[in-house]
Amino acid sequence: MKKLFFSLFLSIATLAAFAQNPIDGNWKGSRETPNGTFEVTYTFKVEGDKLTGTWKTQFGEAALEEGKVDGKKISYSISFNDRKMSYTGELVSEKELVVKSERGEMKLAKQ
């Protein structure tokens, strides 16, 4: 009986250790600008409290820098065309993430 409980506990602990963070994956959003619609696609990967991934728009692609995760909150920066932008965000639901920067707020939907 002890072996059964130990095996069950070990299985649950293993699954919890390898559980995917809800922030992981592909996210897409858009917002209107004076120059038209700005569309962005993110790929996020969470490892502990580190956030890595990419940011892709019609203008190009860049790696996320200085990425951090604190529960449902994220922060990162992106360097593009000799400019560095800082972002913060929060997971609203498993399908919605809101990111903010000096240029405004954008809702992202999980793909």
pLDDT range class, residue 4, cuts 50, 70, 90: low
Distance (Å, rounded) from C-alpha 40 to C-alpha 89?
Answer: 15
List of residues 6+ apart from 69 with CB closer than 8 A? 21, 23, 46, 48, 49, 50, 51
Mean pLDDT across 87-110 = 95
pLDDT of 59 reads: 87
pLDDT range class, residue 10, cuts 50, 70, 90: very low
Say which residue the tokens 């929060």 belong to.
90
pLDDT of 84 reads: 94
Q: 53 burial class (0-12, 13-18, 19+ CB within 10 angstroms)?
A: buried
pLDDT of 7 reads: 54
Mean pLDDT across 10-16 = 47
pLDDT of 24 reads: 97
pLDDT of 88 reads: 97
